[in-house]
Structure 1
Amino acid sequence: MNPDFIYFDLDNTLLNHSSAETNAQRVTYESYPELQRVTLDEWLNAYRVNNHMLWSRYQRNEIDRHHLQFSRFHDTMKELNMDTSVSSEIGSAYMTNYRNHWIWVEGAKEALERVSRKYKTGIITNGFKETQEKKFEIMELNRYCKTFLISEDVGKMKPHPAVFDKASDMAGVERNKILYVGDSYVSDIEGGSNAGWSTAWYTGFETDMSNGNRNRASVTFSDFATLTNLLDV
């Protein structure tokens, strides 16, 4: 592996989105009796199904971000026969709680520090602009990276080619000299591979390790020490 530029995904690659989401949902659930008509696990299961469906529709440009933000709580509460009049308030409370639980993925901060000493680095992320920019600030990512791309600024979400075309231009190097490190096989590995980049698939959050036809990644790793060893940093 001899890249000239390394991009990292953000959520569940550098920042532990899964733990932040779970902890924020728990605190929100405990704060609102309206949610406690069902168990926390029942609430989380229903929310995650709806949230995934809405993000998929958003990715296909079938709905806008405001519809997504409103509906993921409203529709889940309606499905569970809860009082939806407080759904917007609960959604706002969740976002506040979510910001209070941001932590690094284990080993990611140290790896990024070491990689950034030797390589030019950047971040590419889906997600809402103001939330992702706040993560950049809280995590002090500008200490390690000079190039940041939020897909909302492009008007498309990974793995759309427009995101990777823009990122390629921003990197300023040949496409075959770009490495992309990310956790999502479709958004990061397929998206990066289709753009002519090398890819490193982080599987620390992957639950289905049968992989099937998931063989396009240049490197697969579950521990950031593996990545730093491969990059000789």
Structure 2
Amino acid sequence: MTNNIKHVFFDLDHTLWDFDKNSGLTFGKIFDLHKVEINIEDFLSVYEPINLRYWKLYREEKVTKAQLRYGRLKEAFDTIDFSASDKLINDLSKDYISYLSSFNHVFEGTYDVLNYLSKRYTLHIITNGFEEAQEKKLVASNMKHYFETVTNSEMVGVKKPNPKIFNFALQNANAKPSESIMIGDSLEADVQGAIDVGLDAIYFDYKNQNYYHNYKRITNLSALQDIL
């Protein structure tokens, strides 16, 4: 399967960087700072699916960056009947981005896999995340040096699965689609998006709950050492 592969492209959030864990810790910190007295588990249980839905809308150009940052918090607070002023939501939104990269849990096996792959392939990132946040995450988690190029959606003006971001990343990496593979947690944005422009792809099903599809699938990163 991988004899001709020279370039490995990774998504960042939910693929290498443990977004759910780091996000939860960030909310704990900023709720303490702003004296927001709600049960963090109750909040996260409603926030996480709302956040995923807003990111889907953002990928589809249906909400702006500002609308995503405000709307996901507003809707989560409304769902749990917590009264939050616009000022509080905006302050939390700003502090969330500021503090998010201060927590740097990565998925189990991340560094071992990157050490292994970096000796055999040229590694890259393609992310829909915001440029300032993604750069901080890569530096603070000590991952940046593994990657030859980092392509984010704000550079290109479109988001995965738009072919333009993959083509931009390939050009940036001086890589051919036939020599490249994409690894990510989103079937739509990462896997099908990559396949549509001629890359091979592996779906990282980190929650181990999505069995029913025809894509190559792993449930832990260490499995990449058997594949690549």
TM-score interval, smaller chain: 0.7 to 0.9
Deviation per CA, 1:164-215: give whole Å up to 9, x if none. Answer: 1112222323211101111222211111111111112222x22423x22x21
Which AA in structure 2 matches 1:226?
A
Distance 1:9 1:74, change over 3 A: same
Note if contact 1:34-1:83 (Cα within 8 Å) is conserved in structure 2: no
The correspondence for 1:121, drawn from 113, 120, 123, is 123
Unaligned residue ranges in structure 1 (runs of 5+) = none
Distance of 2:77 and 2:220 partners within structure 1:
38
Q: Secondary structure at the match of 1:173?
A: coil
- 1:228 counterpart residue number: 225
In structure 1, C-alpha distance between the alignment counterparts of 2:31 and 2:144, rounded to whole Å? 34
Task: State the match for 1:83 in structure 2.
Answer: 84
Q: Secondary structure at the match of 2:98?
A: helix
Equivalent residue of 2:147, what SS? Answer: coil
Percent of pairs with identical residues = 23
Q: Which moved more, 1:181-190 or 1:83-92?
A: 83-92
The Cα shift of 1:143 comes to 2.0
In 2, the alpha carbon distance for the partners of 1:180 and 1:69 equals: 27
Q: From 8, 23, 28, give the equivalent of 1:6.
A: 8
Q: 1:138, 1:43 → 2: CA distance?
A: 26
CA RMSD for the aligned pairs?
2.0
Q: With structure 1 as the length reference, what TM-score do the two structures score?
A: 0.86
Matched position secondary structure for 1:51:
helix
After the TM superposition, which residues 124-203 of structure 1 pair with which residues of structure 2 at under 5 Å, given as runs? 124-203=126-205
Deviations 1:17-59 (A, max 9, x none): 11101222233334444442xx333322332343233222222
Out of 109, 112, 118, the position equivalent to 2:111 is 109
Q: Which residue identity lines up with residue 225 of structure 1 in the other structure?
A: S
The answer to whether the 8 Å contact 1:159/1:191 transfers is yes
1:44 maps to: 44
User: 70-79 or 58-67, which moves further after superposition?
Assistant: 70-79
Q: Conserved in 1, the CA contact under 8 Å of 2:7 and 2:181?
A: yes
Structure 2 unaligned spans of 5+: none
Correspondence list, 1:11-22, <5 A: 11-22=13-24
Secondary structure at 1:149 match in 2: strand
Structure-2 change in CA distance of 1:34 and 1:149 (3 Å) = same
Aligned mates of 1:53, 1:35 — CA distance in 2: 25
